[in-house]
Amino acid sequence: MNRLLAVAASACALVLAVPVQAEVVKSDAGGFVTRDTAVVNATPKEVWLALISPAKWWSSAHTWSGDSANLSIRPQAGGCFCERIPEVPDPKKITLEGSVEHMRVIQAYPEVALRMQGALGPLQSEPVNGVLTIAISEAEQGTRIVWEYVVGGYMRYPVDVIAPAVDGVMSQQLGGLAKLLGRIDEAPEAEADQPAAGDEGKADEGAASEEAAEPSLEEAIDAMGSG
């Protein structure tokens, strides 16, 4: 347990070293929800193409191999957000290439939303589940990206320690994507009134729409009695 606390504390220290603009919007013994928003100077198509190329924007500090160039996403249901662990040649050993599954794609809706399931980083060692929803929509200027990560289940980390750490890492990843595309919102907190990431598609046609077939995350949280 002490080692787990140390890992979580180290993660907190790391994310405090970078601008943190995300927010833990819900947290209790059962898990937590983080949310972040960015507006970028790009079209939804450009955002989608960049999003599915994590090697271009994901932080190498948050990879197992130490190099984001080893990351890839196959944007189809069942596809893998995976990382290649390159072989390290050693004449004294038989060495092999390895791999890591960070998340698995459960919804790929080009130019609208990408939803993946999996426990990121130190959460991978715990029997928790996480769902990351990245929603793309047109803004008055550019394109808005809403990034939400919902984590639930038993974990050995104290939620009040690990939630802010994960929150900061999520903000850092969105920040990398937004920087690549040209971030134009100077005050992300001003976007708090915007719709949360959710199912922007109609259930019958899968067409992009502001009127989601499923309730938004805000509605779900309100239904659970969250303030």
154 lies in a domain? yes
- Answer whether residue 110 is part of any domain: no
| pLDDT reported for residue 20 | 38
**Which residue from 193, 179, 206, 216 is spatially nearest to 139, judged by alpha carbons?**
193
Does residue 121 sit within a domain? yes
Domain range for residue 158? 2-51+117-223
Residue 78, Cβ density class (10 Å: 0-12 exposed, 13-18 middle, ≥19 buried) = exposed
Question: In angstroms, rounded to a whole number, what is the distance separating the alpha carbons of residues 116 and 149?
Answer: 9
Domain count, the chain: 1
Does residue 104 lie within any of the structural domains?
A: no
CA distance 119 to 110: 23
Residue 64 lies in a domain: no
13 part of a folded domain: yes
**Domain presence at residue 60:** no
Euclidean distance between CA atoms 71 and 34, whole angstroms: 23
Q: Which tokens belong to 117?
A: 């399931």
From first to last of the 227 residues of the chain, give the pLDDT tens digit: 444 334 333 434 333 333 334 699 999 999 999 999 999 999 999 999 999 999 999 999 999 999 999 999 999 999 999 999 999 888 888 889 999 999 999 999 999 999 999 999 999 999 999 999 999 999 999 999 999 999 999 999 999 999 999 999 999 999 999 999 999 986 444 343 443 444 444 333 333 333 333 334 343 333 333 33
- DSSP letter, residue 190: G
Q: Residue 89 falls within a domain, yes or no?
A: no
pTM: 0.73
